Amino acid sequence: MTATSDMKEHLIVGLDVPTVAEAERVVRDLEGVASFYKIGYQLVFAGGLEFARDLAASGNKVFLDMKLLDIDNTVAKGVENIVRMGVSMLTLHAYPKAMRAAVEAARGSDLCLLGVTVLTSMDEQDVIEAGYELDPHTLVLRRAEQALQAGMGGIVCSAQETEAVRRIVGPSMAVVTPGIRLAGGERGDQKRVVTPRDAMRNGSSHLVVARPIVGAVDRRAAAQAILDDMRSA
């Protein structure tokens, strides 16, 4: 992961924009610098699913951030249809039954299923308020172990937990890290943030970066700064 072309495979740009037209502008702005994009709720409900298909068909990689959670059959049927879209990654909440259903539904495909552990916008008080007795770090590690046991392709967690997570899941599983900010950058609503360099050093395989790139005046320069910081690890 020393060349820029290789590092692009590990940077996922979050297309957290209100319209497909704006997402298309972001992709055009980043042509040659980025090739992996996250599509989440905001864009999905504005025509983003068709855009995801088109983006994947054009040779880009797509991380569909749906955070699925439902009864086993519903999760399985959803995953079966998502497999046909040609996207590379899909998130679901890291509940054991849901993960097992998703793994079975995706079996034989190239879709990488990611278990979302604890959102990076949540701190210990938020986790307590949600009814969990475990602190965020302990909860992340438990869910990482459950994702491994379920046969998931990877997990999503803060880079603050990545080093400990790697000791559980080993070198093969993807560890995808949101909440990435350059040193001195605006945190926004993220509470557990880490720099790109530290995230890669801690064992993250992919970094998800949205506002620091999409909201920048010069998106290419912002993406390149993230890539440079990743390479410095």
Catalytic residue among 6, 8, 54, 70: 70
Please, are residues 115 and 155 in contact by the beta-carbon 8 Å criterion?
yes
Read off the amino acid at residue 7.
M
Q: In the beta sheet, which residues pair with residue 14?
A: 38
Q: Which one is catalytic: 8, 61, 65, 229?
A: 65
Residue 211 marked as a ligand binder: yes
Active-site residue, selected from the candidate residues 29, 67, 191, 228: 67
Residue 69 marked in a binding site: yes
189 annotated to bind ligand:
no
Q: Which residue has the tokens 């855009």?
A: 51
DSSP code of 137? H
| 67 labelled binding-site residue | yes
CA dihedral 157, 15, 7, 93 (to 10 degrees): 20
**181 marked ligand binding residue:** yes
Task: Give the C-alpha separation, 65 to 75, whole Å.
Answer: 14
6 annotated as belonging to a binding site for a ligand = no
120 is in an annotated binding site: yes
For the chain, count helices (H), then strands (E): 12, 8
**Residue 38, annotated as binding a ligand:** yes
Whether 126 sits among the annotated catalytic residues: the reply is no
> Is 70 in the active site?
yes
Q: Is 91 labelled as part of a ligand binding site?
A: no
Is 29 assigned to a binding site? no
Q: Known binder of ligand: residue 11?
A: no
Please list, in sequence order, all residues whose beta carbon lies within 8 angstroms of the beta carbon of residue 122, skipping any fewer than 6 positions away: 130, 136, 191, 192
Q: Is 97 designated active site? A: no
Q: Which of 188, 176, 177 is nearest to 212 (CA)?
A: 188
Binding residues for substrate, as ranges, are 16, 38, 65-74, 120, 181, 190, 210-211
Binding residues, as ranges, are 16, 38, 65-74, 120, 181, 190, 210-211
Catalytic residues: 65, 67, 70
